[in-house]
Amino acid sequence: MATEPLAGIRVLDLTNVLAGPYCCYQLALMGAEVIKVERPQGGDLARVLGADPGRNKAGMGISFLAQNADKKSVTLDMKSAKGKELLKRLVQTADVLVENFRPGVMNRLGLGYETLRTENANLIYCAISGFGQDGPRRKDPAYDQIVQGLSGVMSITGAPDTAPYRVGYPLADTVGGLTAAFAISAALNANPRGAFLDIAMSEAVISTMGWVVSNYLIGGVTPGAHGNENTTSAPSGTFATTDYPINIAANRDEQWQALARHLGREDLLQNPDYATREDRKRNRHSLRKDLEETLRTRSATEWVNELNALGVPTGQVLTVPEALSDDQLAGRGLIGCLSVHGEEMKLAGSPVVMDGQRRMPQYPPPDLGADNSVIWSELGLSSAEIGALKKEGVI
């Protein structure tokens, strides 16, 4: 494999649970050395989160396992005077520091950006929060569902009679983490280096809402919940078959015509309610009902194969297990195996394929404080000093 893009970059990961750890996991997959700096008592909260109580009890919860491979772990009490000094010394060796405390916490600890930049003028300091480092909501909790609600996402998720609904996975945390990883990668390319990155999860989410936001800002259309319907075209949405639901996106006139003809529903092409794109959008629900009269007569697999062959974009609606076992995903190697304490464990690698190769985790998620001896020794501490700091609860 060619030299990894972020080889030689040291990242201090002071984050907890998801947005920050996911950000730093992406950086680790690209070759950065990522050192998790965790509380001596318990570490990252994600260590006790997940669907397996036994793993939670062992400090290796599934939520932690999911985005902490390829990292090192040291423990540090940043509230203690000795802990503050150790972090400053560690910062002197780093390129990037990522934290997701509430705004102001690091300043109160005496470890804010202005302080740490005196230790390392080239430091890229990335602060991830729910709503940003200033503004009236800056100190509000940054839980994913809270951010989803306040960013407007929940108001447009679900159908008119079921919204608001949360997106079924931690969208705000994940999008916030990806945004932070992108910003850090860009800042690493600056010359000279050194920057304070203020990443608000809410703003990252709103940025990804694209034309939903633009339709309101430019077109004056208030976004709403439309279930599985694509409001930009019709027929474009989810349709029933004899077994599994399928998505059809007949967004162009020629696709709509090919769909109707293949279903043997030329009568729909003569229906004035469906004559134009705008007509079909206005009458989308009756159109779906008419199409499903035929679609319900055969299986999802048959329709998907036949309609795609005609140039009408169609795909099954899969469960998560089905998606993970699908030949397309499995064949591209997104999911890899890693040995964790002798157990073969499946973990997702990088979503990026670069020059035909996908970066996969090479080392298991670390036990709490697993790298204390190595990392603190690198800073010049003796074994006796490390032992004393551990006894004092500093590390």
Q: Are 206 and 152 in contact (CB under 8 A)?
A: yes
Minimal CA–CA distance to 197: which of 205, 206, 188?
188
Q: Are 69 and 60 in contact (CB under 8 A)?
A: no
Q: Which of 13, 70, 173, 290 is catalytic?
A: 173
How far apart CA 99 and CA 97 sit, in angstroms, is 7
Helix/strand/coil percent split, the chain, to 5:
40, 15, 45
Q: Any idea of the CA torsion for 182, 59, 166, 181, to the nearest 10 degrees?
A: 0
Q: Which amino acid is at 235?
A: P
CA torsion sign, 335 to 337 to 338 to 340?
A: positive
First to last CA, the chain: 36
Minimal CA–CA distance to 291: which of 245, 359, 335?
245
Q: Please say if 13 is a catalytic residue.
A: no
Active site residues: 173
